[in-house]
Amino acid sequence: MSNQEESGQANEFHRSPQLPIAQPHSDTSLSVFDPNSHRTRDDEIDLRALWQTVLRYRKLIGFIFSIVVLTALLITLLMRPMYTATVSLEINTSGRNLVKFQNLENQGAESQDYIATQAKILESASVANKVVTDLKLIDHPEFNGELTQRGLLNGIRSIASLFRSDSADSESQRIRAAVKRYQERLSVNAIRKTNLVRINFSSFDPELAARLANHHAQSYIQLNDERRFNSTSGAKAFLEKEISNVQAKLETSEKQLNDFARKFGVVDLEDKNNIMMSRLSDLNTSLSVVQSERIDAQTKLLQSKSANPERLAAVFDDVLVKSLREEQANSKSEYFELGKIYKPAYPTMQQLKAKIDEIEANIQSQIKNIVGGFDSDYQQLKLREELIISELDKLKENLLDLKDRAVTYNILKREWEANKELYAGLLERTKEVGVAAGMELNVGSIVDTASTPQGASSPDLLFNLAIACGLGLVLGLGAAFLLSILDNTVHDVEHLRQITQIGHLGVTPDIEADEISPKTDSQVPLYDTIVHHKPASTFSESIQSVRTSLSYARPGGFPKSMMVTSSVAGEGKSTVAMNLAISWAKSGQRVIVLEADFRKSRYHKVFGVPASPGLSDFLVGTAEEKIYKIEQIPNLSLFVGGGQSPNPADLLRSTQMLDLIRKYESEYDLVIVDCPPVLGLADAIVMSKLVSAVIFVAAAHQTPHDAIANSIARLRAVAAPLIGTVLNKAHSRNYGYDYYNYQYALEEDVV
């Protein structure tokens, strides 16, 4: 073949149509089936994706769930049993007295919040302090801190208490600490739509719980009686003292009211106010008229100063000015006619000129008189306006003074009326307060006393376990979804399609341990030949599905030559490439595999052939072409990588490599090239220009999506013929292989 023919073929190859980027609703030459085209929209919840996340992190979820449940079970079993005693108390909200007077304790008894207020009083520190003091609970182990509930929080408190010295605590501090512990055991619940309140007290001792609950209710009633007595006796003394004070205020206010009315004639204030208001209205009307006239005069005056006086309307409409203008116009006309005959020095012409000047002087004099009248009118109206304003100010001042007197009078009158009413009310209540205390009912009465509880109220094992189960499940799912969000690797086919924006060829599962054939004598696992050794395995079925997708990926069937690459090492590209070659060879196609990964040759170990001479040796020119026929797999040929080369990219870019690809395309049905990863190396970029198609392999939950995006960008930058992607190392339990019926393959293995 001549160099021109080779150059023409190369140019024709490089001008071959490349795979376009897939766009929505756009025509494309690819015919790869995309089962993700019917996935849910972005604004919908993908339940299948959520379920796959749960399956992926099921061990973590189970671990967190177990830890939470076991911790709750252990804490519950270690806790001391608590016993709760209950007292029912009725709160009296109406009919507490038979007289009209109500002292300070009775006010607001009809309020809807009265029962809630009494419930808060029952929980208050004052009632608890009375119980602690009466029963000397500061020496009881439950209230002095010696006996506490087992648990994590109380354990931390116990450890913290070791660093504090309690020997210096005073009795008041011990009482406050006991009251705080007492209130922690106490709970008060108001029963809706009733006047009943339940007092619950919990203790490690059931008899102590009943005794303290009963004593708490009695202490509340006693404290209320004491407050009622103190408030009633104090109210009587207070009322008697206030009566004398209010009586003196009443006499003083009445005298001040009469003196003020006599001095200012308050009886006539209303009539004076009406007269002054009428006068004020008239002056405002006059002021409005004068201001309007003054504004007109000021406008004319300003126009006369800023504009040509002769253009003023008053000047233009003046009769004398009109007459003089008419006479002047006649003289000018006569002067103009005579000027056609005589010169200006002619006596008649001079007489006419003098007459015209005299008329003009008279006009200017009249205009000056008119303009001077503008200023005179303005000054007169301005003076009149000032006088009216002055009169208005005086009238307003007098009116305000009159109103001030009326306000002072009304204040004195209201003060007198208030003192009079208060004095009468105090006299009435002073008579009633003596009998008010004896007519009142108790604020509360005990309905049911507390009895010794027969069973523990806490801890509730079933309830705690139920809460722990819910909490463990929530924490486990939260951790799983958090890890899923933080995971920057490719998750599934849809995720891979979004990153690459190209169609995908299939999903290959992660090879399970039981699917790996026994090792050969060289101790090399047979990952790369699993299609041959276990044709019914899940991985073999997935490879066959990828091969089928490739057959329909472009018009005319699968490409004659294709390159298999990935982003980084360890994604299984070599396994996918060799198993694809074996699958095609077993279907009767003549396939040759070129190992173009010179840095990491491996196929010679898999098939037990010499490592060299190989492809790199042939391209360098140190060895002849050496093709190995694989006897175990008919129709499969192998060209191993050979020895390592310092410049692999230059070897792949050579004309010998292009000639070799074209030669094998004519001799074999399919040429598969196994290339190094894209990132960090130029080998795959160079090789992508020599083949008809590029298959991109990505490992599920291993390859970062940034690496995939950068690799695809590098391949697109050189117009690489990307034909599709393969998602490798997918977990069958997480994905289920709904896309290509992988579950069917799993069922066949079971059968």
> What pLDDT, on a 0 to 100 scale, did the predictor assign at position 695?
92
Confidence of residue 470 (pLDDT cuts 50, 70, 90): very high
User: How many Cβ atoms from other residues are within 10 Å of residue 567's Cβ?
Assistant: 28
Is pLDDT above 80 for 164?
Answer: no
**Backbone region of residue 40 per phi and psi (left: phi > 0; alpha: psi in -120 to 50; beta: other values):** beta
Instruction: Take residue 300 and report the two structure tokens written for it.
Output: 């004319």
At 268 the pLDDT is 57
Averaged over 675-696, what is the pLDDT? 89
Q: Which one has a higher pLDDT value, 72 or 748? A: 72
Which run of H or E residues covers position 146? none
Bridge partners, 207 (sequence order): none
Q: What is the mean pLDDT of residues 681-709?
A: 88
The pLDDT of residue 714 is above 80: yes
Q: Which of 16, 52, 82, 54 is nearest to 457 (CA)?
A: 82
Of residues 489 and 522, more confidence is placed in 489
pLDDT band at 64; cut points 50, 70, 90: very high
Residues near 636 by beta carbon (within 8 Å), at least 6 away in sequence: 581, 582, 585, 591, 592, 593, 629, 630
Query: Given a cut of 80, is residue 467 above it in pLDDT?
Result: yes
354 confidence band (pLDDT: 50, 70, 90): confident
The amino acid at residue 57 is Y
Mean pLDDT value across residues 214-241: 78
609 touches 615 (CB < 8 A): no
What average pLDDT score do residues 555-565 get?
Answer: 85
**pLDDT band, very low/low/confident/very high, at 157 (cuts 50, 70, 90):** low
Question: Two tokens at 112?
Answer: 């809807």
User: Looking at the chain, how many residues does it have?
Assistant: 751
For CATH 3.40.50.300, the residue range(s) in the chain are 15-24+32-44+490-750
**What pLDDT does 68 receive?**
92
232-258 average pLDDT score: 74
CA distance 728 to 34: 17
Instruction: Check pLDDT > 70 for residue 35.
Output: no
Cβ contacts of 434 within 8 Å, gap of 6 or more:
236
77-236+443-461: CATH architecture: 2-Layer Sandwich (3.30)
In the chain, CATH 1.10.287 covers: 268-439
Q: Which residues contact 409 (CB under 8 A, 6 or more apart)?
A: 257, 260, 261, 264, 266, 269
For residue 591, pLDDT over 70 is answered with: yes
pLDDT over 50 at 574, yes or no: yes
More confident residue, 274 or 163: 274
Which among 573, 595, 694 is positioned nearest to 644, based on CA atoms? 595
**Range picked from 456-465, 643-652, 678-687 for highest mean pLDDT:** 678-687
How many CB atoms neighbour CB 570 within 10 A? 11
220: left (phi over 0), alpha (psi -120 to 50) or beta: alpha
**Average of pLDDT values for 324-342?**
78
**CATH architecture of the domain with residue range 268-439:** Orthogonal Bundle (1.10)
Give the domain 15-24+32-44+490-750 fold: Rossmann fold (3.40.50)
Q: What is the pLDDT of residue 512?
A: 67
What is the DSSP code string of 388-457?
Answer: HHHHHHHHHHHHHHHHHHHHHHHHHHHHHHHHHHHHHHHHHHHHHHHHHHHHPPPSEEEEE-----SS--
- 16 has a pLDDT exceeding 70: no
Q: What is the pLDDT of residue 590?
A: 92
188 bridge partner residues: 199
Rounded Cα gap, residues 501 and 504, in angstroms: 9
pLDDT of 528 above 70? yes
pLDDT value, residue 306 = 62
Per-residue pLDDT of 394-448, as tens digits, reads 877 777 777 777 777 777 777 877 877 887 877 777 766 655 555 556 677 888 8
- Cβ density class 391-422: b for 16+ within 10 Å, e for less: ebeebeeebeebeebbeebeebbebbeebeeb
- Whole-angstrom distance, CA of residue 290 vs CA of residue 389: 11
* Residue matched to tokens 């924490």: 475
Q: What is the pLDDT of residues 294-331, one digit of tens each?
A: 787 777 667 666 666 666 666 666 777 777 777 778 77
Of 432 and 23, the one with more pLDDT? 432
In this predicted structure, the answer to whether residue 360 has a pLDDT above a threshold of 50 is yes
- The pTM score is 0.49
**pLDDT recorded at residue 106:** 47
Using pLDDT thresholds of 50, 70 and 90, give the confidence band for residue 550: confident
What percent of the chain has pLDDT above 70?
77
For the segment 529-542, the average pLDDT, to the nearest whole number, is 85
Say which residue, 106 or 94, is predicted with more confidence.
Answer: 94
Mean pLDDT of the chain: 76
Read off the pLDDT band of 662 (50, 70, 90): very high
Residue 537 pLDDT exceeds 70: yes
pLDDT digits (tens, 9 = 90+) for 593-640: 998 888 888 888 888 888 888 888 888 888 888 888 988 888 999 998
All CATH 3.30.1890 domain ranges in the chain, comma separated: 77-236+443-461
pLDDT tens digits for 166-213? Answer: 444 678 888 888 888 888 889 998 888 888 889 998 888 888 888 998
Q: What is the CA radius of gyration of the chain?
A: 55
Confidence of residue 43 (pLDDT cuts 50, 70, 90): low
- For residues 92 and 195, what is the distance between their CA atoms, to the nearest angstrom? 7
Q: What is the pLDDT of residue 362?
A: 77
Transcribe 463-500 into DSSP letters: HHHHHHHHHHHHHHHHHHHHHHHH--B--SHHHHHHHH
Which amino acid appears at position 531 of this protein? Answer: V
Using the structure block, give the residue that is written with the tokens 């690797």.
Answer: 489
Residue 568 and residue 697 in contact, taking contact as beta carbons nearer than 8 Å? no
Give the CA dihedral 148, 154, 155, 156, nearest 10 degrees. -140
Residue 603 pLDDT: 86
Question: What phi, psi does 594 have (nearest 5°)?
Answer: -105, 120
